Amino acid sequence: MLAEGLKNAVTPPMKPVLVDTHCHFNFEAFAPDRDALWEDARAHGVTRLINPAVDLESGAQALALSARHDGVYMAAGVHPNYTADYMPALLDAIVEQAAQPKCVAIGEIGLDYHWDFSPKAQQWRAFEDQLSLAARLGLPVIIHNREATEDVLSILSAWRATVPESQRERLGVLHSFSASPESAERALALGFYLGFSGPITYKKADDLRRVAARTPLDRLLIETDAPYLTPHPHRGERNTPAYVRYVAERLAALHDLPFEVMAQRTTQNAERLFRLSAS
């Protein structure tokens, strides 16, 4: 399912429009100059941003930012590294956040076996419960996966079978994708989008670039994961939403397309998956 043939007959937009589909804009790293950074991002063509929660508190912060800024949206959920104290009763609070008009997804949720912040059993319980919630609410999911690819894909495969047919075109995205080509094939076959971030610009990321180059244009999303994963040539600095442009530029080169076309395609994908209004 990895693509060839989607390069044809796309008319570039007059001005490139970008969507950063994953930015932790509520994090303390942005406290000193958050408003100025959003204005800078908009000046660089970033018209919309999705701020995923990592827990209930960050979800409330993300909601507040979405109310304050045009073009800023959020996702509600509990990140696997924050699930040590997870209880199903927390789902009620997630539902409240998800009911707000600018909540466009459940996330970021998933599994993380790199850190030892939460037992695997707790991570699984929270992941499966939030997947079920997303299906019930009709929202896509934003998936975190770190060193847990086989389990993540197995859980997503089983979950997909429970999702109504009408919802399977908007299942979600594997954010900041970094797994193998075979894993990419499996995720795409299930119906997921793949999100790419700063690492595709890194010198030694040839394997990841090969995956990105073979991903169909209608399944590509761009993101920063700011303040982390800063792309070249700013690696080592704080990442910002404006830097999503570097990801789009690298994807355009990998697909042998003009930057304007890649911007258009990834923006259309974000609008379709998250039901964002057209810019």
Walk me through the domains of the chain, giving residue ranges and CATH numbers.
18-274 (3.20.20.140)
Q: Nearest-CA neighbor of 194 among 168, 221, 217, 167?
A: 221
Q: Nearest-CA neighbor of 216 among 198, 191, 197?
A: 191
Average pLDDT across each block of 10 residues of the chain; the chain has 279 residues. List them in order. 46 75 98 97 97 98 97 98 96 98 98 96 98 98 98 98 94 97 98 98 97 98 98 97 98 98 98 89
- What is the pLDDT at residue 238? 97
Q: Determine the Cα–Cα distance for residues 181 and 207; give it in Å rounded to an integer.
A: 8
pLDDT, tens only, 126-185: 999 999 999 999 999 999 999 999 999 999 999 999 999 999 999 999 999 999 999 999
Count CB neighbours of 220 within 10 A: 26
- What is the pLDDT at residue 249? 98
Report residue 274 as tokens. Answer: 């998250």
DSSP 8-state symbol, 227: T
Count CB neighbours of 29 within 10 A: 16
